[in-house]
Chains A and B, each alone.
Chain A
Amino acid sequence: MAADVVGGILLAGITLYAVLGGADFGGGLWDLLAGTTARGRAPRALIDESITPVWEANHVWLVFDLVIFWTAFPHAFAAVMTTLALPLWLALAGIVLRGAGFAFRKEITRPSLQRAAGATFAFSSLLTPFFMGTVIGAIATGAVPAVASHARLAAWTSPTALLAGFLFVATCGYLAAVYLTGEAGRRGDRRLQAYFTYRAQAAAIVAGALSLATLAELRNANPALYARLTGRALPLVITAGVCGLAVVVLLAAGRRGPGWPSLTRVIAALGVAAVVWGWGVAQYPVLLPGTPVTLANAGAPPATMVAIIAIFIAAVLLVGPSFALLFSLQSRRLLGAGEQGALTAATPAGRPRRPSPNGHPGPTARSATLGMIAIAVIRRLRHH
């Protein structure tokens, strides 16, 4: 029972990493495809400003998931880390280069170096989702043994695993484009809104096609999982498909007007969450398909499970409202993207708000911000 709850917590953590962290990697994809310096200036500036204050916090979900995985299911964790060492090292390389490249680009002023840092950020943003996808693909196809002593190349180079890798890249790009469409709309930048609408729709089609291809490939690779995906997990699979279609329609409808950016964003995230949970439900209670390892028999002792549940509750109470505050401040454009980089100098959007003309916040500005924080917290709490 406790192991099932912790399995759910782990899946929730993976969902949040996919929906939040994935979009940041997707931003790198669009940065890579934004074209020459002059043409790509506006979309790159929007991407930079949207990712800057949040990517580190979103990234922590990965660390959190790793910790829960090794604490709750240490044997399975060791097997995965050993069998899939190579793609995990490569995903890690992507994380290091993406973060460093992104942070450095802002502070470098010489164009050639800035371009190099930007290229590092953009290219490495593809590495992490791709190799994470192959890892999940390898687990889903049952390529990870219960006890592993050596890495296996074949485990993650199967067609299913590689398709999953491409699917992850496309999904990250899809989420990023949907979020960026909303961001451009909120700034009233119709040109960028159309730019990202087009890309979001294209990515939705590519991601949809890759999902179907992965599903078809899974039929040969892991028939049992396929049967459950089209069996008891079918409602979730259908939800994912409906969400994808709804996003494409909403984007088309919102093309010429403000649209419904928040709704579109939520539905896009829901669609991705439905895929993650579809996988989880289809696989339950097995942890490593193709082996007898289940949530219940791979689990740590009950006290550890209780401790993880306690940590998760603490996370919901502490981290949840903090995230709500971060996102609400960001959506009110109270968080900048640094003042030095040439990127922000090229931002087409309006100038940042200033607290008050003399710089010392008046009582009105101060109480307004405090009130806003309080409202965000209360709203978040009522949500739970």
Chain B
Amino acid sequence: MVTRVDGMRLLAAGVGGDVVPARAQMATTLGFHIILACLGIALPTVVLLAEFIGLRRHDETAFRLAQRWSQGMAVLIAVGAVTGTVLSFEMGLLWPGLMRRYGAVLGFPFGVEGLFFFLEAIFAGIYLWGWRRLPGWTHWWSGVPIAVSGILGAMSVIAVNSWMNQPGGFTQRGGRIVSINPWQVYFNRAAIYEMPHMILAAYMVTGFLVAGVYAAGILRGRQDRYHYTGFALGFVPAAVLTPFQIFVGDTAARAIAHGQPVKFASMEYVPRTSRHVPEWLGGAYVNGHIYGGVKIPYLDSLLAGFGPGTKVIGWEIVPAAYRPPVVWLIHLCFDVMVTLAFLLLLAGLWALYEWWRRRRLPPQRPFWWAGAVSGVAAVVAMECGWVVTEVGRQPWVVYQLQTTAAAATTNGGVITSLSIIIGVYAVLGTATILILRMMARRWRRTDAVEAAVPYGPNPAPQDLTEGEVGR
């Protein structure tokens, strides 16, 4: 499969040119957008859950949370929509070689994604701006298509990424695609584990981020029903999904050992193909030595094939030019992701134990500290996972078919666009967070006013539009 031509082109292009800045720019924009994408996929479900409880049980706290979250969602969806568009443009502006050669193949899942992006945007327009104007349950149902198309759209985008890891479903002759099988492109060999892995990640990131906001409030002494409800609505779904995510991730790692052995070897520090392979926890691989890691004998073979004698392929099966560039980064990111997943699992088990014994959430402050940082931890774990899958595939953009260097733009000036993008995204990210905090402060003021005069006269007309009077 590896053609000599590609090898020559790779050597000719080397690491010079604009490949490195182009990769850095793609990493920056994708790394930023993926957080918003997670929120776009899963936040509608969390908001709908809160609104459902609010409508079903006439629970004013849950209803108020749903309404406020959907205001935050409006900002997040807008930023997500524009940063997603940046990625669409970059497919052509940074990677014209990839699109020229494989656009006809990987365009199909993108087209399907376009459909769901439409439905998401249309029903977001109805749901986000239809509060209190559409009747209760009609409004709730108008949000369901957002949640469903979020999942289906994510599947379609992951179909493209997994296809790049395990390309198939097409025939090419003389460097031109002559036929494709859309079904095999969409449900390629890596899709089966990448799709659930990313969708679960989106739900975990969203749930823990929501929980983190309210855990931080509880740590600051805001121990009221509002904050506990907000925490639980995010924490419970995310914690319930965590063990499933660990199972899917474990299955994915084994599939990678089979389908992309060089990536797996980089994740686990396996230079030479052998049996009885040890597992390295941490450690930096520099010039053939591993510094400062913990070595557990046989564990890698056990994990890869359930027996200490399992043969694990090392990265030496391919020439140095076809191995990923920074092995230590891939390995450490993998370790960080797995460690954080288990810590999040522990936090969930802690809450489960307290609930089972005493029907309450843990009162200990360390639990709430864990809750407060759980969102950031989930984001870090997800970003690390993307580093593993993307850097681990290098030097290929389409595994064993096209190198990243061959796909990159031949235009100069990527350093310039990269610098501008970093500046713009820094402002965009900061502004988004500041605006969400500003909204939270405004809500707290409203709540303080309402709490101060429980039996006072009706609020002023302006408060009527801000509060949720009548619901």
Q: Are A345 and B462 in contact (CB under 8 A)?
A: yes
Q: Are A326 and B125 in contact (CB under 8 A)?
A: yes
Contact with A along B80-97 (1 / 0, CB 8 A): 011111101101110011
Interface status of A296 (Cβ within 8 A of chain B): no
- In the complex, what distance in Å separates the CA atom of A74 from the CA atom of B105? 10
Given contacts A96-B83, A366-B137, contact A104 B75 (CB under 8 A): yes
Q: Are B133 and A74 in contact (CB under 8 A)?
A: no
Chain A residue numbers with a CB within 8 Å of B115 are 311, 314-315, 318-319
Binds A, one of B218-226, B268-276, B281-289, B431-439: B431-439
- In the complex, what distance in Å separates the CA atom of A70 from the CA atom of B88? 10
Residue of B nearest to A325 (CB): B126
Interface status of B26 (Cβ within 8 A of chain A): no
- Interchain CB contact (< 8 A) of B92 among A78, A104, A354: A78
Interface status of A39 (Cβ within 8 A of chain B): no
Residue of A nearest to B98 (CB): A78
Chain A residue numbers with a CB within 8 Å of B292 are none
Chain A residue numbers with a CB within 8 Å of B71 are 107, 338, 340
Contact with B along A25-60 (1 / 0, CB 8 A): 000000000000000000000000000111011011
For window 91-119 of chain B, which residues contact chain A by CB distance below 8 Å?
91-93, 96-97, 99-105, 107-108, 110-115, 117-119
Q: Are A104 and B431 in contact (CB under 8 A)?
A: yes
Chain A residue numbers with a CB within 8 Å of B462 are 345
Chain B residue numbers with a CB within 8 Å of A85 are 93, 409, 411, 413
Q: Are B112 and A359 in contact (CB under 8 A)?
A: no
- In the complex, what distance in Å separates the CA atom of A334 from the CA atom of B128? 11
Interface status of B135 (Cβ within 8 A of chain A): yes
Given contacts A74-B100, A104-B75, contact A335 B83 (CB under 8 A): no
- In the complex, what distance in Å separates the CA atom of A66 from the CA atom of B181? 21
Residue of B nearest to A352 (CB): B133
* Smallest CB separation, A169 vs chain B (Å): 20
* Smallest CB separation, B36 vs chain A (Å): 11
- In the complex, what distance in Å separates the CA atom of A314 from the CA atom of B180? 20
Contact with B along A321-358 (1 / 0, CB 8 A): 01101100110011111111000010000001111111
* Smallest CB separation, A178 vs chain B (Å): 21
Q: Are A304 and B96 in contact (CB under 8 A)?
A: no
Interface status of A369 (Cβ within 8 A of chain B): yes
For window 130-189 of chain A, which residues contact chain B by CB distance below 8 Å?
149-151
Chain B residue numbers with a CB within 8 Å of A97 are 424
* Smallest CB separation, A40 vs chain B (Å): 22
Given contacts A70-B92, A300-B104, A303-B181, contact A109 B81 (CB under 8 A): no
Q: Are A53 and B126 in contact (CB under 8 A)?
A: yes
Binds A, one of B256-264, B367-375, B463-471: B463-471
Residue of A nearest to B81 (CB): A56
Interface status of B353 (Cβ within 8 A of chain A): no
For window 277-315 of chain A, which residues contact chain B by CB distance below 8 Å?
300-304, 307-308, 311, 314-315
Q: Are A319 and B122 in contact (CB under 8 A)?
A: yes
- Interchain CB contact (< 8 A) of B101 among A64, A74, A150, A354: A74
Q: Are A53 and B89 in contact (CB under 8 A)?
A: no
For window 121-173 of chain B, which residues contact chain A by CB distance below 8 Å?
121-126, 128-138, 145
* Smallest CB separation, B117 vs chain A (Å): 5
Interface status of B252 (Cβ within 8 A of chain A): no
Q: Are B92 and A77 in contact (CB under 8 A)?
A: yes
Chain A residue numbers with a CB within 8 Å of B101 are 74
- Interchain CB contact (< 8 A) of B135 among A60, A303, A337, A355: A355
Chain B residue numbers with a CB within 8 Å of A100 are 78-79, 82, 428, 431
* Smallest CB separation, A10 vs chain B (Å): 12
Interface status of A250 (Cβ within 8 A of chain B): no
- In the complex, what distance in Å separates the CA atom of A92 from the CA atom of B96? 17
* Smallest CB separation, A367 vs chain B (Å): 9
Which of A81, A338, A373 gathers the greatest number of chain B CB atoms within 10 Å? A81
- In the complex, what distance in Å separates the CA atom of A68 from the CA atom of B89? 13
Chain A residue numbers with a CB within 8 Å of B179 are 301-303
For window 196-213 of chain A, which residues contact chain B by CB distance below 8 Å?
none
- In the complex, what distance in Å separates the CA atom of A317 from the CA atom of B182? 20
Interface status of B294 (Cβ within 8 A of chain A): no
Chain A residue numbers with a CB within 8 Å of B410 are 82, 149-150
Q: Are A77 and B85 in contact (CB under 8 A)?
A: no
- In the complex, what distance in Å separates the CA atom of A358 from the CA atom of B92? 53
Interface status of A108 (Cβ within 8 A of chain B): yes
Q: Are B465 and A92 in contact (CB under 8 A)?
A: no
Residue of B nearest to A321 (CB): B122
Chain A residue numbers with a CB within 8 Å of B133 are 333-336, 352-355
- Interchain CB contact (< 8 A) of B125 among A54, A78, A370: A54
Count residues of B near A (Cβ-Cβ below 8 Å): 80
Interface status of A2 (Cβ within 8 A of chain B): no
- In the complex, what distance in Å separates the CA atom of A331 from the CA atom of B234? 35
Q: Are B121 and A303 in contact (CB under 8 A)?
A: no
Residue of A nearest to B185 (CB): A307
- In the complex, what distance in Å separates the CA atom of A96 from the CA atom of B432? 13
- In the complex, what distance in Å separates the CA atom of A96 from the CA atom of B130? 25
- In the complex, what distance in Å separates the CA atom of A326 from the CA atom of B128? 12
Residue of A nearest to B180 (CB): A303
Q: Are A335 and B108 in contact (CB under 8 A)?
A: no
Q: Are B470 and A369 in contact (CB under 8 A)?
A: no
Interface status of B442 (Cβ within 8 A of chain A): yes
Q: Are A74 and B103 in contact (CB under 8 A)?
A: yes
Q: Are A57 and B99 in contact (CB under 8 A)?
A: no
Chain B residue numbers with a CB within 8 Å of A322 are 118-119, 122-123, 145
Q: Are A74 and B107 in contact (CB under 8 A)?
A: yes
Q: Are B111 and A335 in contact (CB under 8 A)?
A: no
Chain B residue numbers with a CB within 8 Å of A325 are 122, 126
Chain A residue numbers with a CB within 8 Å of B471 are 359-360
Given contacts A71-B108, A359-B470, contact A329 B130 (CB under 8 A): yes
- Interchain CB contact (< 8 A) of A300 among B74, B79, B93, B103: B103
- Interchain CB contact (< 8 A) of B470 among A74, A102, A108, A354: A354
- In the complex, what distance in Å separates the CA atom of A41 from the CA atom of B128? 24
Which of A62, A71, A95 gathers the greatest number of chain B CB atoms within 10 Å? A71
Q: Are A57 and B108 in contact (CB under 8 A)?
A: no
Chain A residue numbers with a CB within 8 Å of B74 are 103, 106, 338
Q: Can you list 16 contacts pairing A with B, beta carbon distance less than 8 Å?
A: A53-B126, A63-B88, A70-B103, A72-B104, A74-B102, A78-B97, A85-B413, A88-B93, A100-B79, A103-B79, A308-B108, A318-B118, A340-B71, A352-B132, A366-B138, A369-B135
Known: A81-B92, A311-B111, A326-B125. 7 other contacts (CB 8 A): A60-B121, A77-B92, A82-B411, A95-B82, A319-B118, A333-B133, A352-B132
Give A residues with C-beta under 8 Å from B: 52-54, 56-57, 59-60, 62-64, 66-68, 70-72, 74-75, 77-78, 80-82, 85, 88-89, 92-93, 95-100, 102-104, 106-109, 149-151, 300-304, 307-308, 311, 314-315, 318-319, 322-323, 325-326, 329-330, 333-340, 345, 352-361, 365-366, 369-370, 373
Give B residues with C-beta under 8 Å from A: 71, 74-75, 77-79, 81-86, 88-89, 91-93, 96-97, 99-105, 107-108, 110-115, 117-119, 121-126, 128-138, 145, 177-182, 409-411, 413, 417, 420, 424, 428, 431, 435, 438-439, 442, 462, 465-466, 469-471
- 7 closest pairs, A vs B, by CB? A71-B107, A361-B135, A74-B103, A359-B470, A300-B104, A81-B92, A103-B78
